[in-house]
Amino acid sequence: MRAARARLLLAGSLALALAAGQQAHAQAVPEYAMKATYLYNFMVFAEWPNQDAHGAPESLQLCVFGPDNFGTALNSLEGKNVNGRKLVVQRASSLASLRRCHLLFVTEREAPNMAAIQSVLGEAPVLTVADSPLASGAAILLSLDGRRLVFDVNVQRIKKAGITLSSKVLQLARSAS
């Protein structure tokens, strides 16, 4: 009887260890690593005005404005090819520097300043992305829906900036208005 009980206990322990090991291998991707991937893909599927094959700058600027939680997640994007151009990641420190960005990620801390940011950008071809509902007027708003990262697209803002976003991105958006 004791031997059977010991075998049952051992089998249960092994099952739990295996389940824990499998769960560790199926860990979710960290939120900001996912967001970094989304930012990269937004750049891949966007076209900026006056950037044909003859007049395109050699690089695209992905800027982050404000203190962020990306950590090293954006480092892996540095130098990547985006439609034949090198991706450069910058952490912007002033409003004046924002017009040089192609994609601007506005952090939660700077989201309340979105009106001032939009004023500085005017109709400059900058794709604005944020992850805070306080950033009204951003072209793309990232948010978590349970454990899924989703995004909403402000089509009017994108048109105002003169940027063309692929219909593939619009189809994947939770909403496009």
**Mean pLDDT in residue range 133-148:** 94
Rounded CA separation 62/127 (Å)? 9
Domain that holds residue 169: 31-176
102 in any annotated domain: yes
For residue 141, being part of any structural domain is answered with yes
Q: Please provide the average confidence, as pLDDT, over all residues in the chain.
A: 84
Q: Give residue 63's pLDDT band: very low, low, confident or very high (50, 70, 90).
A: very high
| pLDDT at residue number 50 | 72
157 residue type, one letter: R
Percent of the chain with pLDDT over 90: 76
Phi and psi angles of residue 35, each rounded to the nearest 5 degrees, phi first: -65, -40
Check pLDDT > 60 for residue 145.
yes
Task: Return the CATH number at 81.
Answer: 3.40.50
**Count of the separate structural domains present in the chain:** 1
Q: Kindly state the DSSP code that residue 150 receives in the 8-state scheme.
A: E
Judge whether 151 lies within some domain: yes
In a domain, 84, yes or no: yes
Q: How confident is the model at residue 57, as a pLDDT?
A: 73
Closest CA to 149 of 27, 35, 26: 35
Q: Residue 120, exposed/middle/buried by CB under 10 A (0-12, 13-18, 19+)?
A: middle
- For residue 5, is it within any domain? no
pTM (two decimals): 0.81
- Domain annotation covers residue 4: no
Contacts 24+ apart (CB under 8 A), 87-92: 87/40, 87/43, 87/59, 87/60, 87/62, 88/59, 88/60, 88/61, 88/62, 89/62, 89/63, 89/64, 90/61, 90/62, 90/63, 90/64, 91/63, 91/64, 91/65, 92/63, 92/64, 92/65
- Is 1's pLDDT higher than 90? no
Between 22 and 104, name the one with better pLDDT: 104
Residue 99 has pLDDT above 50, yes or no: yes
| Residues linked to residue 59 through DSSP beta bridges, in sequence order | 86
DSSP state of 50: T
| 73-91 mean pLDDT | 95
70 located within any domain: yes
Which DSSP letter does residue 131 get? S
The answer, yes or no, to whether residue 58 has pLDDT greater than 70, is: yes
CB atoms within 10 A of CB 118: 21
User: How are the residues of the chain apportioned to helix, strand and coil, as percentages rounded to the nearest 5?
Assistant: 40, 25, 35
Q: Is residue 89 one of the residues assigned to a domain?
A: yes
